[in-house]
Structure 1
Amino acid sequence: RAERGGPEPNGSMENVSVPSGELSVYNDSVDLYSLSLGNNTHSNYVHYFHGDLYIILPIIYSVICAVGLTGNMAVIYVILKAPKMKTVTNMFILNLAIADDLFTLVLPISIANHLLNYWPFGEVLCKVTLSIDFYNIFSSIYFLTVMSIDRYLVVWATVRSKRMPYRTYRAAKIISFCVWLLVILIVMPFTIFAGVDVNPYDGRKSCVLMLPDPENLWNKMSRIYTLILGFAIPVSTICILYTMMLYKLRNMRLNSNAKALDKAKKKVTIMVFIVLAVCLFCWTPFHLSTIVALTTDLENTPLVIGISYFITSLSYANSCLNPFLYAFLDDSFRKAFKKMMECRPA
């Protein structure tokens, strides 16, 4: 059971009772947005959640961490070591794997924070962890947007029977570097506001967003900022690109003089589309929860708390799913991985 309670600003904690079988947590707003992020603002009060979540969530996060770290490291290793894997699309996949690996590397810190129920790691690591947490929101969708643009250009060039001399591995490196810079700039406000807050009633430390006054207004602005830059703009761009791409592919079938896409290009396009679909499946509930939080005033019922943690786990899971998609959908990746894992005589 989850209850929103706690004292008034000048109140006392003496009369707060903990229901039997439940865990008391001095934390911050427990709406869908903050729980999905795993971090909050610094308005202190008490909420409760069932003790089962205290055990189940670290297990889920640990599995995501182990699988994601192993899978993405394998993707990075294969792309960097196998000569035939150095393609434009694989350069973007490489950077997507690096971003996912970066997130899974700091996930154990979030697990420790959850188990300890306080932040013992200091100010610097707080800023780093929250920055990477927010970076995870933007990086996947932005690299997939770039991959969608690349797929559209490939289809467009094929339909018009044109070459693409500017589409090189080196150009993909430069574009990837620009995406990293762009996302760092987008996340910079969250890095600035991240800090360690000390609960005035028991001295418990929390790694949260220390938003200025009026806090409620800044909180809404941060939600809208994340929704627009992390979802609305990139997803709208992707939808427009794929609509135009499907339109061109349809016209190719109708036009007997058009040159059809070859088998390899079709496979890559399908793979990018499926990776994108899985990303949207994992992240759309998170952004929908932001809309819900902006338009309604939800009570912290058991159902809301459970949905919030489910959204968290689903968004985190995206960081470990992509390697499996590459293994199933990309023959060249699967063959390169098997070849590199073969035992070689000394």
Structure 2
Amino acid sequence: MALDYVDYEDYRGSNETENITDDREAPDFSSSQSSLIYFLVAVDIITSAVGLVGNLLVIWICGWKMNKTVLTTWYTSLAVSNLFFCVFLPLDIFYIMTSHWPFGQVLCKLSSSALFLNMHSSVFLLVLISADRCILILFPVWAHNHRTVKKANGVVALVWLLAALLTLPSLIFKETKVHGPIIQCHTEYGSRSRHKAVALIRLVFGFLIPCLMIVCCCVVLGVKLRSLTIRSKKPYKIMVALILSFFFCWIPYHTFILLELDFNKHSLNVLESGLKVGVALAASNSFISPILYVFIGSDFNQTLKRSLTSRFEDAMAEDLRTAGYNQSKEGKTLICFI
């Protein structure tokens, strides 16, 4: 995986210990890992191509072909995050193929930071989507009166600011390094403790806490939806699918990051291969979202017959209708149009 070659020393701390050597001075496709490298390059190419086209399509449809709503604001921002990552992926593909970084230090920092910015912004946006759906269910009248696109844009801006702050370590510590004719894009943490601190902050604030919040929201939604008659559950299916895809794509990465922090107890070859696969799988999450928007909830033949715009409108429908909802013991019925 290209990003693994850009960031791997960032994770394993090769500048902080003598037990790990630098293996990037020349590409070695004759080694036992050559097949894995070619496979991961192929995955990168698919991720980049499908991710660029798919996320551009999401942005185009949500921004120009659909009415602007709070939910389309969340999904547009998610697509922008994925698109930003996919834009830099071809540079990483070149790096993994040549082990040489000719693009300069600025692009080294930006390319290395794209994955982490995508990780943080994506999971924070998933928290917003989950919390937003909980508010729609629990406080429908309040949501109808106070839930606006303008406020959603403000919250998205805060999310991007927080994601950028958590991505700063990659921007700060990533540098280019010259080895003869080869230029590397690698990390200078300065100490092993600093490396561990950065990795743990990413894990706790970029994965564990947001995931706990998402799980809580999903539990509340699951309980409440059982007592409601919903006109369409497709928006909820989309939300759950996005959350599950994020979890499955990122759990291997974080697992190997934890193992890597105590690398002396594990095989370096296993850690290298595991991190390559983990980052490749994490990167693939960037092109899954557009596919889910189009295909989830209906069979393939129906999808082909209907326009893409209609599919997105169904997937991101804002209206939640409940009928015959007993609000109190006195038999009060609440019909909600949100």
Q: TM-score, normalised by structure 1?
A: 0.76
Quick check: 1:96–1:139 contact (8 Å CA) kept in 2?
yes
Partner of 1:45: 21
Indicate which of 44, 58, 70 corresponds to 1:61. 44
CA distance 1:46–1:36, shift in 2 (3 Å): closer
Partner of 1:290: 257
Quick check: 1:195–1:208 contact (8 Å CA) kept in 2?
yes
Asked if 1:242 corresponds to 2:218, the answer is yes
Q: CA deviation at 1:185?
A: 1.3
Partner of 2:119: 137
- Which string of whole-angstrom CA distances, capped at 9 and with x for unpartnered residues, describes residues 315-339 of structure 1? 11100111010002378x9956257
Indicate which of 246, 257, 281 corresponds to 1:314. 281
Aligned to 2:145, the other structure's residue is in SS state coil
Indicate which of 137, 147, 160 corresponds to 1:180. 160
CA distance 1:319–1:142, shift in 2 (3 Å): same
Partner of 1:278: 245
Distance (Å, rounded) in 2 between the aligned partners of 1:245 and 1:36: 40
Asked if 1:123 corresponds to 2:105, the answer is yes
Quick check: 1:38–1:312 contact (8 Å CA) kept in 2?
no
Distance (Å, rounded) in 1 between the aligned partners of 2:7 and 2:152: 30
Partner of 2:308: 337
> What is the alpha-carbon root mean square deviation over aligned residues?
2.6
- Which string of whole-angstrom CA distances, capped at 9 and with x for unpartnered residues, describes residues 83-121 of structure 1? 33x221111110100110110110000011111212111
Quick check: 2:6–2:112 contact (8 Å CA) kept in 1?
no
Indicate which of 62, 69, 86 corresponds to 1:79. 62
CA distance 1:123–1:275, shift in 2 (3 Å): same
Distance (Å, rounded) in 2 between the aligned partners of 1:168 and 1:39: 44
Partner of 2:321: none
Indicate which of 170, 181, 190 corresponds to 2:150. 170
CA distance 1:220–1:231, shift in 2 (3 Å): same
- Which string of whole-angstrom CA distances, capped at 9 and with x for unpartnered residues, describes residues 10-31 of structure 1? xxxxxxxxxxxxxxxxxxxxxx
Distance (Å, rounded) in 1 between the aligned partners of 2:281 and 2:5: 12
Runs of 5+ consecutive residues of structure 1 not aligned to the other structure: 1-32, 254-259, 341-346
CA distance 1:220–1:140, shift in 2 (3 Å): same
Indicate which of 63, 71, 92 corresponds to 1:110. 92
Asked if 1:267 corresponds to 2:245, the answer is no
Partner of 1:343: none
CA distance 1:56–1:163, shift in 2 (3 Å): closer
Partner of 1:7: none
Distance (Å, rounded) in 1 between the aligned partners of 2:223 and 2:187: 44
Q: CA deviation at 1:42?
A: 5.2
Distance (Å, rounded) in 2 between the aligned partners of 1:52 and 1:104: 23
Quick check: 2:7–2:186 contact (8 Å CA) kept in 1?
no
Quick check: 2:117–2:163 contact (8 Å CA) kept in 1?
yes
Aligned to 1:164, the other structure's residue is in SS state helix
Quick check: 2:4–2:279 contact (8 Å CA) kept in 1?
no
Quick check: 1:62–1:108 contact (8 Å CA) kept in 2?
yes
Indicate which of 205, 208, 221 corresponds to 2:183. 205
- Which string of whole-angstrom CA distances, capped at 9 and with x for unpartnered residues, describes residues 227-284 of structure 1? 111111101111122222223334xx3xxxxxx25323x3212211111111111011
- Which string of whole-angstrom CA distances, capped at 9 and with x for unpartnered residues, describes residues 195-234 of structure 1? 11234xx46321122112xx21111111111111111110
Distance (Å, rounded) in 1 between the aligned partners of 2:103 and 2:22: 22
CA distance 1:37–1:229, shift in 2 (3 Å): farther
Q: How does 1:221-260 map to 2 (within 5 A)?
A: 221-250=197-226, 253=227, 260=228
Quick check: 2:55–2:82 contact (8 Å CA) kept in 1?
yes
Partner of 1:300: 268
Quick check: 2:70–2:147 contact (8 Å CA) kept in 1?
yes
Quick check: 1:126–1:195 contact (8 Å CA) kept in 2?
yes
Aligned to 2:102, the other structure's residue is in SS state coil
Q: Which moved more, 1:308-317 or 1:286-295?
A: 286-295
Runs of 5+ consecutive residues of structure 2 not aligned to the other structure: 312-338
